[in-house]
Amino acid sequence: MVEWRHWPGRVPYEAALAAMEERVARIAAGEADEAVWLLEHPPLYTAGTSARPEDLVEPDRFPVFSAGRGGQYTYHGPGQRVAYVMLNLNTRGRDVRCFVRQLEDWVIAALAEFNVKGEIRDGRVGVWVQRPERPPGPDGEVPEDKIAAIGVKLRRWVSFHGLSINVEPDLSHFSGIIPCGIRDHGVTSLVDLGLPVTMEDVDTALRHTFERVFSAPPGGACGEASLPFRPKMNMVERRNE
């Protein structure tokens, strides 16, 4: 059983991290159910285990936290749905790459509920959308913006951290970092794409699509998934002590 919880208001990052640490320990000990927490943070930057100092462009703009998850710098703030995902991979196949793939597929399925085509790209973490209304880039390719970030950590094969989807954040806040170390592409949100989508709409889409993605038999989901697999292990920090 997966427990879903909505945290009201703007949740301080340190409080959420401490609560995740405690819940993951209880899941690993068999004392608590798996969980998905949906929340928003006040404006802040987080540094993953691969973060490069030069990618923190404005270090004094917002508080900066060491996240302990895989990945580089990300922004969290109002108007962005954060989903912290605490699942027990001991009962889900112990396949880290498959788990990351499922997180990607989950975001893509949720975006599809709004007729938004999310895609993954080699060498670029997260989920992306094409912007055909904009002029082609210097290489002639259709411009693309990032709409969702993914970064996880495993402890004793239990996951925490998770993903974030841009619903209606202040996109200018991303300019204080190089998001995920990617300099040649921008960020967008569902509202920036012209969709009158609310947080509640996104929460409904995430819950509606979760079982479809994560109910596959352990070890079998990746083999049956429709999208080509692209390993992105820099999304993941593993500690299985």
Query: Is residue 70 a known part of a binding site?
Result: yes
Residue 159 CA to residue 63 CA, distance in Å, equals 25
Query: How buried is residue 130: exposed, middle or buried, by Cβ count under 10 Å (0-12/13-18/19+)?
Result: middle
Query: Is residue 163 a known part of a binding site?
Result: yes
CA angle 207-155-225, nearest 5°?
Answer: 45
Residue 77 CA to residue 94 CA, distance in Å, equals 32
Nearest to 226 by CA among 113, 85, 101: 101
Query: Is residue 13 a known part of a binding site?
Result: no
Query: Is residue 150 a known part of a binding site?
Result: yes
Query: Is residue 131 a known part of a binding site?
Result: no
Query: Is residue 69 a known part of a binding site?
Result: yes
- Cite the beta strand spans of 113-212 per DSSP E: 119-121, 124-130, 144-155, 158-166, 186-187
Nearest to 159 by CA among 28, 66, 40: 28
Tokens of 94: 């112990």
Residue 154 CA to residue 161 CA, distance in Å, equals 9
Residue 88 CA to residue 35 CA, distance in Å, equals 9
Q: Which H/E stretch holds residue 221?
A: helix 221-224
98 is catalytic: no
Query: Is residue 130 a known part of a binding site?
Result: no
Query: Is residue 219 a known part of a binding site?
Result: no
From 147, 154, 158, 180, the catalytic residue: 180
Residue 94 CA to residue 92 CA, distance in Å, equals 6
Query: Is residue 194 a known part of a binding site?
Result: no
Query: Is residue 10 a known part of a binding site?
Result: no
Q: Which H/E stretch holds residue 80?
A: strand 80-86
Feature table: binding site for substrate = 69-76, 149-151, 162-164
Feature table: binding site = 69-76, 149-151, 162-164
Kindly list the catalytic residues: 180
